[in-house]
Amino acid sequence: MSAPIRFRIQAADPGGRARCGLVETPHGSFETPAFMAVGTQATVKTLDPRDLREAGCRIILANAYHLSLRPGADRVARLGGLHRFMGWEGPILTDSGGYQLFSLAPLARVTDEGIDFQSHLDGARQMLTPERSVEIQEALGADIAMVLDEPLGFPHTREEAEAALRRTAAWARRSREARRRPDQALFGIVQGGAFEDLRRASAAELVPLDFPGYAVGGLCLGEGKRETDALLAAAADALPWEKPRYVMGMGTPADLIRSVRLGADMFDCVMPTRHARRGNLFTWQGRLSIKRNEFAEDSAPIGPACGCPACRGGFSRAYLRHLFQAEEALGQRLMTLHNVFFYQELAGRMREVIRAGRFDSWAEELLAGPLGRDPEGPPGGGQGLRRSPAGRLLRPAAPGEE
């Protein structure tokens, strides 16, 4: 499949599978490993494009399903496309809407044709087919689009995983046939649930379709960390070395480090932004809860050596705690700036040590320290889960993913 993106691997760690590279798109390039800030509704909450650039972001993610409901993909197209609409000049990746089958499960029903959604806005029904998902993403004008897929919450049966794999593979073929824009890259998505052999089988179905990049979906949805790593390794080993690998919805800083060690290149997650709004801050010494009484008179910045705008601007932990307790918007913005900056700094540090040929030893050291001991929040970026009548873990429906 021809595509307007180019991926060049620039260095690989001799001790493992980690690599760093450069992805070139119609709206600029970004280095990998890369973390994409999540802008579900065409905005990364509390931040504007200048904030994002200052924090080190070079590519962001938006959600095709949510934007198709509000303000509408056709309206965005008439206004010049998603880049102009949100004032972001860099690369954009749009998710297809498949994740909403999981996150908005009470409002969705899957068939071989597609996903029948009931809008959380007005109750109207929308049939999201692979063809319709591609049409929406092409109207939005993202640089990278995703095929429609079927993720499964954990636990699930092998029979359910096989059915979702079959459906995801068929949808990938239909998505590929529906593609019309020559200036937009379409990525395939590996599914297969909790079974390593099905992950390899899913990759084997996708590789002959020659997508310009591949994602691994359906992880961090209720399984344990060791299981996540095993499933990712099975998928990554079956994907082409020369094409970018994107792990969807991943995760904590430790998750990113382990995934890069397994050969992953691109990531997204609501964790840095959502946790910031809840007063949880990421540092090289582990996660910090600004709500704690010990910070009430702490004049130090979040991270003493941090170069983010919040820390560099001299805002103290005591002040941020006050803003959080007073529910002031400035507090959410400053803490979001810090967390987004930290995730970008982490990605940059990983690129540095890969180029230096010492990623494996560096990763071992960090994972053995406070960053690796960072408490694991619930899957789905920290929002609590519940079980469906069938026993699957489901996230509560929400007006937006971020």
| Active-site amino acid positions | 95, 268
Closest CA to 186 of 325, 346, 355, 64: 64
AA identity, residue 240: P
Give the angle subtended at the CA of 274 by the CAs of 128 and 75, to the nearest 5°.
Answer: 40
Residue 31: its H or E element: strand 28-32
AA identity, residue 333: R
Q: Can you tell me the distance from the alpha carbon of 349 to that of 328, in angstroms, rounded to the nearest whole number?
A: 32
Closest CA to 185 of 249, 142, 215, 217: 142
Closest CA to 221 of 251, 254, 241: 251
Long-range contacts of 80-85 (CB under 8 A, 24+ apart): 81/140, 81/141, 82/42, 82/140, 82/141, 82/142, 83/27, 83/141, 85/42
- DSSP at 214: E
Tokens of 177: 């046939």
Give the angle subtended at the CA of 391 by the CAs of 386 and 396, to the nearest 5°.
Answer: 25
Residues facing 185 on adjacent strands = 144
Tokens of 322: 């006050």
Please say whether the beta carbons of 88 and 60 come within 8 A: yes
Q: Can you tell me the distance from the alpha carbon of 220 to that of 205, in angstroms, rounded to the nearest whole number?
A: 23
